[in-house]
Structure 1
Amino acid sequence: MADTTVTLATYNLVLTGSSSCLSILGGIVIFYTYYKLQAIRNFTRTLLVYLTLADVLVSVGHLIAVIRYSCVYSGTPKTENCTANKTTEYEAICIGQSVLTTFSSLASFLWTSVIAIHIWSSVVIKTHKTEAHYMHVIYHVVCWFTPLIIVSILLHKDYLGEDYCYGTGVWCGIKSNLPQGEIEKWMYIADIGWQLACYLFTCFLYIHLKFYLKLHRRPIKLKSITDKLRNEDVNFVAVWMVIYLLRLWGFARFFITTYSDQNTLQQHNMSRFLNFLLIMQSYGDSGQGFWNFILFCVFDKPVRRYLNTWLFRNSEEPERRRLLRDT
């Protein structure tokens, strides 16, 4: 592949940076409302806090990537060469950002799957074992230590850093100068494989849950089925679709740039399409924290009522205390 130069448009950096900031702010609101509203602190909401922590770390990593890219490549085109072994300025930051985003993305997929298992089991199987203390410990071991092990192996192999291959973006990740086949293998192990598993697994569980409720002619009032869930927990059914819509673009870019030949990739129409996918990915990869805020704060009536009171202060202080007590 001949070397080409790429300078990401300003809007790519703006989209990634703004999406990251919105997700961090959304995550802070989720943490704050969990702390303030005792009535919403069921086990599902606790799991959401862990998921939100992972999503906030993803956004922090991408925000670091935006700042680093602006410093390193400001006014200088980035040369694409899949065999490049160039050390750039702030290389340690690049590796650190790769560690953070790889770890937290994997953790996010795993916590999303855990929440799906918990809600499906509570409604369909009618078991509360998913809330047991030993299960709680297992969740933490699996969701934090699995990504840690994968990232540690990548660090040991010196596989994390700058990517100069076709379609490179703001962020650092798996290096582009690895032996033949290693990039694809580790992309599956450290990212794409987990994404695909998360999409299929959560999609199946939540769709089965909706059909289960309809076949039993039950209104979607989860609290009437089990007192361990709130009615608003039904919003989790939409999580898999949110992840799909946010991550689809990077998922598609990976398969196109990995399995298409050079002539196809360099065609004008394909180049424009890949640029469109990069624009969408620039927003989507950092966006889950913000959209979780929309689902679980804006679309959660008790939380929305509290936030309206807290933000606009149109209600009397006793009303705020009543919301804290009775939501």
Structure 2
Amino acid sequence: MSSNSSNENLTSSVPISLPTVIVGLSFLSCCLSIIGAVVIFATYCLVNVAKNQTRRFLVYLTIADLMTAVGNLIGVVRYALREETEYILERKEMKYNCTVTDSVCFVQSAVTTFSTLASFFWTSIIMIHILMTLITQQEWSKLANRVIYHIVSWGVPLVITFLAVWFDVLGEDFFITTGPWCWIKGCMEQEKVINWMALTGKGWEVATYFLTMTFYLIIKFYMCKKSLRFKDRSQNHLREEDELYIMIFFAIIILRVSGTIRFFIAMFKTSNIQKFDDAERGLLYIQSFGDSAQAFANCILFCIRDTAVRQDIWRKIRTCVRCGSPDEEERARLLQTAVN
């Protein structure tokens, strides 16, 4: 398909206006993830019992997920505050000049491309760390390994994002595989759009699905074969509650698989024009919440479901409340003073 025909298909119809519910779900998801990220950071600082290497990697993962939530939130607000006439004119302008995109859309695309890729890498690293620590019966992620983790998890996404910026492919995608936020320009040739989406996110996402699934199965098989439980490895820097971390495989698939399905649907469409049928519209509803909800889901898994973290936080809250209120003797003294 030629570039002209692709652009014509993209711009020949009236721009789609997403349902308010989709915008609302995206906004809610972003806000919940920002709150969840703050809770994860706070528990890491306040709960000493959970301050091991696994949870430190969770903090790095949460930094990436927080950037994604903030970036998508900016994209949602941009879409919600758009002026419809200007939006239509922008779409028509992209028919003739595919390099046109506004600065907010461009920056948001760059930030979320980088942070989403970093999130995939840190998710895989957490699984690698747990597997190797479990098998070797010692702290696997020593200084040299941690340096490599940071170089790979921040460096590779930075290089890929730089390439996307260099080739000027970031911008308004007109919801080809996203919700109310920007990513890869939808005005390019369809094949080029799909290839860049694979390179800057979806390809790595699918690889993360299979990689973390493989690690999960290996961990479970090893534990069954050796009749092990995580608390049997507490002397090797693994907590009993660290078994929750291997569930991150399920969380990422449940949250993001709808967007992945939409990506594969887009691969087999004959044009970039967006005409949602009922099935794809349903997937869009799920994706609008799920793509930004990783930090929120991790907060539930690793703060609320983690018994030691939950109990220690509750203990600190009660202590703080108790310290903030006068004891019985102080109450009696204050009452006596008031009577006199």
Quote how far apart the aligned CAs of 1:306 are.
Answer: 2.7
**How many residues were matched structurally?**
312
Choose from 271, 290, 293 the match for 1:284. Answer: 290
Aligned to 1:120: 131
Contact 1:188 1:194 in 2 (8 A): yes
- 8 A contact 1:113–1:202 mirrored in 2: yes
Amino acid at match of 1:302: A
Q: Which runs of 5+ in 2 are unaligned?
A: 1-8, 324-340
Cα distance in 2 for partners of 1:215, 1:162 equals 51
Contact (CA 8 Å) 1:84, 1:177: kept in 2 or not? Answer: no
The letter for the 2-side match of 1:151 is T
State the partner residue of 1:238.
247
Unpaired segments ≥5 residues, structure 1: 318-327
Cα drift, residue 255 of structure 1: 0.7
- Any idea what the Cα deviations from partners look like across 1:25-63, whole Å, max 9, x if unmatched? 111011011111222111111100000100010000011
CA-based RMSD: 2.7
In the alignment, structure 1 residue 190 sits paired with structure 2 residue 196: no
Amino acid in structure 1 at the alignment position of 2:133: S
Deviation of 1:223 (Å)? 4.4
CA, structure 1 residues 73+303, in 2 after alignment: closer, same or farther (shift >3 Å)? farther
Farther off after superposition, 298-307 or 176-185 = 176-185
Which of residues 305, 317, 335 in structure 2 aligns to 1:299? 305
- Residue 160 of structure 1 contacts residue 173 of structure 1 at CA under 8 Å; is this kept in 2? yes
Identify if the C-alpha distance between structure 1 residues 43 and 177 changes in structure 2 by more than 3 Å, giving closer, same or farther: same
Deviations 1:68-113 (A, max 9, x none): 1112146887697895747888x10100000111000000000000
Matched-pair identity in %: 36
Which of the residues 15, 18, 34 maps onto 2:25? 15
Q: Distance in 1 between matches of 2:150 and 2:178?
A: 33
How far apart, in 2, do the equivalents of 1:287 and 1:54 lie?
12
Superposed, which structure 2 residues align to 1:1-327 within 5 Å? 1=9, 2-73=12-83, 83=95, 85=97, 91-128=102-139, 130-164=140-174, 166=176, 169-179=179-189, 181-218=191-228, 220-224=229-233, 226-261=235-270, 271-311=277-317, 316=322
Paired residue secondary structure (1:5): coil
Which amino acid in the other structure matches residue 111 of structure 2? L
Structure 1 or 2, whichever has the larger Rg, is: 2
Q: In structure 2, what residue type is equivalent to 1:229?
A: L
Distance 1:23 1:154 in 2: 26
TM-score, structure 1 normalization: 0.87
Report the 3-state secondary structure (helix = DSSP H, G, I; strand = E; otherwise coil) of the residue aligned with 1:131. coil
Higher mean displacement: 168-177 or 41-50: 168-177
